[in-house]
Amino acid sequence: MQDIQSALTEASRILAESSDSPELDAEILLCLILEKNRSYLRSWPKKQLHAQQRLQYKTLLTKRQQGTPIAYITGQREFWSREFKVSPDVLIPRPDTELLIELALPLIPKDKSCKLIDLGTGSGAIAVTLATERPYAQIIGTDSSEAALKIAKQNADHYHCRNLRLLQSFWFEQIADTDFDLVISNPPYIAANDPHLQQGDLRFEPHSALVADENGLKDISVIAESACKHLKEGGFLLIEHGYNQQPQVQAIFESFDYANIQTHSDLGGNPRVTVGQWHP
Ligand code: GLN
């Protein structure tokens, strides 16, 4: 027999080598099996686990020990205070990306229509968040991956987003509209030889959502170039990028003649999102 407390202690020990947050991981995985929240674990430390539960727990611990991200085991991740369904077909939403939302919201009117597009929507975390926060906005979310769009659709349905249309497109390829107020994207921006790709969650995430040619800058460049043809006068382009890409991304924006170019830092203090305005 084993109770909650001793199961957690043993699990944390098992995960200590493979995870940066063994205690938290141990708790999250046990919650998943017991279908309870974390405060339950603290309230009932002496509650015994059944044999079946112990076996299930062991299976999940092994997965985590082998590196599978917690979000892919639980199938969800929180973003901007909402839970999003995720799978290995989509990038796991990051807190860094909440900066895109923080910068986009003041640019989107609360009480009248406006048109925006999220390129490479993945789980739909950005598009669904904006659609929910700004119900008058008309939003398109695109992704080149059909599998990713299935996940995005489930998230959009879950949050009843009637103002979000999802469609398969490689960046703007299938998009004819030329009157967007805002173009937003968290594209792939990691260089193919970046050692981080061999570490942590990144090993399990879709390569196509992480890695870009030309030292990570190819897709940012393609998006910045094509967004010119799809933005209204005065519309905004917001792109997430790597912590060390600010000078190159600003140069790309300048080369396509965006105005009022500014880079903003994430909570970790890293330059993370560059914004430009199309011919204001
Ligand atoms: N921000 C992610 C990371 O560095 C990468 C996401 C991306 O390429 N868009 O872990």
CATH code for the domain of 175? 3.40.50.150
Same domain, 105 and 217: yes
Do 105 and 237 lie in one domain? The reply is yes
Ligand 1 site-directed mutation target among 186, 211, 273, most atoms within 8 Å of CB: 186
In a domain, 151, yes or no: yes
- What digits encode the pLDDT tens for the residues 95-153? 999 999 999 999 999 999 999 999 999 999 999 999 999 999 999 999 999 999 999 99
Using the mean position of ligand 1's atoms as its centre, give its distance from the Cα of residue 216 in Å: 10
pTM over 0.85: yes
- 203 in the same domain as 119: yes
Task: Place 1 in a pLDDT band, splitting at 50, 70 and 90.
Answer: confident
Q: Let me know whether 160 and 263 are in one domain.
A: yes
Domain that holds residue 39: 2-67
Residue 83 in domain: no
In a shared domain, residues 124 and 260:
yes
Same domain, 144 and 253: yes
Provide the CATH number for the domain around residue 17: 1.10.8.10
Residue 280 pLDDT greater than 90, yes or no = no
Domain total in the chain: 2
pLDDT one-digit tens code per residue, 71-92: 999 999 999 999 999 999 999 9
Query: Do the domain assignments include residue 150?
Result: yes
Q: Tell whether 201 and 132 lie within a shared domain.
A: yes
Answer yes or no: do 171 and 56 share one domain: no
Ligand 1 proximity of 210 Cβ (cutoff 6 Å)? yes
**Average per-residue pLDDT in the chain?**
97
Q: How large is the average pLDDT for residues 259-273?
A: 97
Q: Measured from the CA of 216, which atom of ligand 1 is nearest? A: 8
In a domain, 273, yes or no: yes
- If asked whether residues 184 and 105 sit together in one domain, one would say yes
* Residue 237 falls inside a structural domain: yes
Q: Does 19 share its domain with 147?
A: no
Nearest to 144 by CA among 121, 128, 161: 121
Of 118, 171, 190, 273, best ligand 1 pocket probe by most atoms within 8 Å of the beta carbon: 190
Do both 50 and 103 map to the same domain?
no
Same domain, yes or no, for 54 and 97? no
